[in-house]
Amino acid sequence: MKVREMPKILVVDDEVGIRELLSEILRDEGHDVLLAENATEARTAREAGRPDMVLLDIWMPDTDGITLLKEWSGNGQLNMPVVMMSGHATIDTAVEATRIGALDFLEKPIGMQKLLAAVKKALERGARHGSGGLSLGAFARPGPLRDLKRRLEQVLAKSPLLLLRSAPGGIVELVARSAQVAGKPWIDLAHEANPLSTEMLQLATGGVLWCEELARLSRLQQKNLLFAAERLDRYGLRLVAATTHTSTELLALGWDEGGLARLFETGLGVPGLAELKDEVPDIAAHLLTQLMENDEVPRRRFSSAALNALRQHAWSGGYAELKSAVKSLALASLGEEIGEDEALQLLAPAGEPSLAPAGLAPEVIELPLREAREAFERMYFEYHLAKDGGNMTRLAEKTGLERTHLYRKLKDLGLR
C-alpha cells in the first residue's frame, strides 16, 4: 500500500522564534516543514522542496513578502496557496496581497486555532492548483517591459475592455496574462465552439476573456466576444483581445461594424521581439522557469553565452518562436546548463543560408547602424594592420586617410 506523503509547508519569517514556534506546531500536526528566514532562502526552498503551501511574512530584510508574492505570480510560480503573516500590516496591504493571489492573511501574534484553520483551508484549496502563464509582473527591473505593465494597469483601471495592437509575432499573450488575477479564470474565446451564456460568464466572474487574433474568430466566436463585451461590468470580467489588422480589414472578414467600433475604443500598442532585443534573455529565462514549474521540462538553466545567442537571433517567428525554442533547448540539452553551441545549432542549423552580406558576420548586421559601422571599421583596420605589419605609411595610402586623421581613427577604435 502506498504511504501517503505528509503535506509540505514552507514557513518564511525573519524572526527565529516565530519560525521555531510555527515549525513545532505544524510538525506536531503531522506536516513536513521547510524553513526560510528571508526571500532569498524562500526562493531556494520553494524551488527545491515544492511545498504544498507557504506561510509568508510580509516584513523581511532583503525583499518584502508582497514583492516576493508578485514575483511568484508574475513568473507563473504561484501554483501553491500562500497565506501572508504580519504584525504591522494595514488593511490596504492585506487587500493588495489578496489581489495578487494570497489565499489568506494572519495577524501576529498568531493563535494556534487560527493558524491550523488557515493551513487546513489552504491545503484543501491547494492541491497544486495550476498557475497562470508568464506575465509582465515577472520583470521587476526598470525597462520597457516594466513600463508596458504600468501602461497596461493604467488602462485597465479605467476600462475592462482592451485591444492590443501589434505587428505579427508580438508579445500580446505575455501582456494579456498580466491582466489576470491569480486564481481567477482564463477563457480563450478562440476555443469556444458553442454560444456563450450568462451562466458561463457568471462562472468566470473576476476572470479574463482572451482572444489572440480577432481575424481568426468564426462568426459564432465573433458574436460570443461581442456578447461578453456588453456584460463585463456585471460579472467583474476583463476582455483582452489582440489583432495585427485594421478595422477595415476586419470589416471585410464579416465583423459587425458597431461591435468593432466598441473594440477599437481602447487600444494599447505592443512591441515585438525586434524592439525588445535586450529583454530577450530575461524573457527566455522566465519562460524556462515557467516550463520547469509546470513539469514540462527537466531542471535546466541557460549559460550567459546561450542567452546572448538568443539575444542576437532575429526571431522572425516572434514570441511563439521564442517559446518553442526555449522548450526545445530544455528538452534536448544533455546537461543541466544549456550552452551556446546548443542554442546556435537550434537557431542556425548547419547548412542554413545566412541573410547577412557575404563575408560579414550575422551578429554585426544585426547591430544598430552606428555600432555596425564601428564593428566593420575595426575589422577593416585590424585586417590591413596585420597584412602590412603595422606599417602606417602603407595603411594611410591604402585607406586614403591623412596620417593625423588615421591615428585619431585608430585611437577611437581602440587600436594601436
pLDDT at 132 over 90: no
Cα within 13 Å of Cα(11), Cβ side: 24
Categorize the per-residue pLDDT at 5 as very low, low, confident or very high, splitting at 50, 70 and 90. Answer: low
Residue 352 lies in a domain: no
Residues 164 and 46 in one domain: no
Per the structure, the complete domain to which residue 19 belongs is given by 8-126
Question: Domain with 380 in it: what CATH number?
Answer: 1.10.10.60
Question: Domain with 40 in it: what CATH number?
Answer: 3.40.50.2300
Helix residue ranges, H only, 159-231: 172-177, 198-203, 219-229
262 or 359, higher pLDDT: 262
Residue 158 lies in a domain: yes
Residues 98 and 224 in one domain: no
Q: Kindly state the average pLDDT of the residues 2-10.
A: 71
Instruction: Find all residues with CB under 8 Å of 152, minimum gap 6, and list them.
Output: 136, 162, 175, 178, 179, 268
Residues 303 and 407 in one domain: no
pLDDT at 164 over 90: yes
- Using CA atoms, how far apart are residues 282 and 305, in angstroms rounded to an integer? 13
Q: Which three cell numbers stand for residue 193?
A: 465552439
Model pTM above 0.75: no
Contact indicator for 135, 86 with CB cutoff of 8 Å: no
Question: Domain with 315 in it: what CATH number?
Answer: 1.10.8.60
Contact indicator for 307, 282 with CB cutoff of 8 Å: no
Residues 287 and 341 in one domain: yes
pLDDT at 4 over 50: no
**3-state secondary structure at position 380:** helix
pLDDT at 3 over 50: no
Contact indicator for 121, 53 with CB cutoff of 8 Å: no
Residue 131 lies in a domain: no
Q: Are strands 267-270 and 161-166 parallel, antiparallel or unpaired?
A: parallel
Residues 285 and 228 in one domain: no
- Using CA atoms, how far apart are residues 377 and 374, in angstroms rounded to an integer? 5
Residue 356 lies in a domain: no
| Range ranked top by mean pLDDT from 68-77, 239-248, 368-377, 402-411 | 239-248
Query: To the nearest whole number, what is the mean pLDDT of the chain?
Result: 86
Closest CA to 85 of 55, 44, 114: 55
- Using CA atoms, how far apart are residues 219 and 121, in angstroms rounded to an integer? 43
Tens digits of residue pLDDT in 272-331: 988 899 999 999 999 998 888 888 899 999 999 999 999 999 898 899 899 999 999 999
Domain end (from 297, 315, 347) = 347
Whole-number percent of the chain with pLDDT over 70: 92
Instruction: Find all residues with CB under 8 Å of 340, minimum gap 6, and list them.
Output: 303, 305, 306, 308, 309
- Using CA atoms, how far apart are residues 240 and 180, in angstroms rounded to an integer? 10
Residue 353 lies in a domain: no
Q: Which three cell numbers stand for residue 249?
A: 480589414
Residues 343 and 407 in one domain: no
pLDDT score for 354: 47
pLDDT score for 361: 55
Residues 25 and 122 in one domain: yes
* Category of 30 on φ-ψ map: left (φ > 0), alpha (ψ -120 to 50) or beta: left
Residues 328 and 384 in one domain: no
Question: Domain with 142 in it: what CATH number?
Answer: 3.40.50.300
pLDDT score for 384: 79
Residues 167 and 249 in one domain: yes
- With 0-12 / 13-18 / 19 or more C-beta atoms within 10 angstroms meaning exposed / middle / buried, residue 412 is exposed
pLDDT at 133 over 90: no
Tens digits of residue pLDDT in 340-399: 999 999 987 644 454 545 455 555 666 677 777 777 887 787 777 777 767 777 787 788
* Category of 359 on φ-ψ map: left (φ > 0), alpha (ψ -120 to 50) or beta: left
34 or 295, higher pLDDT: 34
Residue 355 lies in a domain: no
Contact indicator for 85, 110 with CB cutoff of 8 Å: yes
Residues 110 and 173 in one domain: no
Domain end (from 85, 108, 126) = 126
Residue 208 lies in a domain: yes
Domain count, the chain: 4
Residues 82 and 161 in one domain: no
Residues 75 and 148 in one domain: no
Tens digits of residue pLDDT in 91-130: 788 888 887 878 888 988 898 999 999 998 888 876 444 4
Helix axes 318-332, 304-312, angle to 10 degrees: 150
Domain end (from 94, 126, 158) = 126
Q: Kindly state the average pLDDT of the residues 210-215.
A: 94
pLDDT score for 199: 93
